[in-house]
Amino acid sequence: MLVCDIVKEVGQNIRKYRTTRNMSQEELAHLAGITTSYLGQIERGVNNTTLVTLQKIADGLSIEPARLLQFDRRTGRGAPGIQLSMYQSQFDQLTPERQREFVGLLKMLLDIGVGWTEE
């Protein structure tokens, strides 16, 4: 993956996480302490920003910065499971005890489905 491709993919990931959360560019820019114009440049992939700014943007999105750097290895595009980010934020709001219960239930469901095949 070329550097210019990575810059574009990071920008697309930011936009996807932002829109999944129904946030405007103005809201995220304010939370991150940057201008709306600068955020727009980052999202369009025309500005190769710093790690410090990525951290601020991730904080504004309430996600780990690493999630902005995740790409589908098969296609080299987009954060895998971006559709799941809404569920991730709901999971993150659960108490640790409820998270453990949820993970246990999920493991049980996956064990039941071990023999399932994709159609």
pTM of the model: 0.62
- CATH number of the domain at 43, please: 1.10.260.40
Give the span between the Cα atoms of 16 and 12, in whole angstroms: 6
pLDDT of residue 3: 59
pLDDT by residue (tens digit) across 20-79? 999 999 999 999 999 999 999 999 999 888 999 999 999 999 998 988 888 765 444 555
Q: Does residue 101 form part of some domain?
A: no
Rounded (10°) CA dihedral 90, 64, 54, 81: -60
Backbone angles phi, psi at 7, to 5 degrees: -60, -40
- Does 12 reside within a domain? yes
Q: pLDDT higher for 6 or 86?
A: 6
Give the residue from 112, 67, 88 showing the smallest Cα distance to 104: 112
Q: How far is residue 117's CA from residue 115's CA, in Å, rounded to a whole number? A: 6
For residue 48, is it within any domain?
yes
Per-residue model confidence as pLDDT tens digits over 77-104? 555 444 555 567 677 778 888 888 888 8
